[in-house]
Amino acid sequence: MLQLRPNCECCDRDLPPESPEARICTYECTFCADCAETRLKGACPNCSGELVRRPVRPAQMLAKDPASAERVFKPHPECRAA
């Protein structure tokens, strides 16, 4: 099950579970669309995997399986370059 992390690992922007702006790789590293596209050029800086739009979990399912509250913030050189 996806963790639905609450922020962009690059710029620390909030990404609520319903956000269409969240991008993830296969390891669930999470970035905002702006960082994913402009700074990271569509590739995860951790694993080099493709960054794709994160699915939105239906609201009724968030009650049963809530999103993660654990923030991950580790700006990579690619994040600071832009």
Taking the domains of the chain in order of start, what are their residue ranges?
22-81
**81, pLDDT greater than 90:** no
Per-residue confidence (pLDDT) for residue 47, from 0 to 100: 95
Q: Closest Cα partner for 30 from 47, 20, 15?
A: 15
pLDDT digits (tens, 9 = 90+) for 29-80: 999 999 999 999 999 999 999 999 999 999 999 999 999 999 999 888 888 7
Residue 82 has pLDDT above 70, yes or no: no
Residue 67: predicted pLDDT: 96
Distance from C-alpha of 45 to C-alpha of 56, rounded to nearest angstrom: 23
- What pLDDT was estimated at residue 78? 84
pLDDT of residue 68: 96
At residue 77, the pLDDT reads 87
Taking a C-beta distance cutoff of 8 angstroms, is the pair 6, 14 a contact? yes
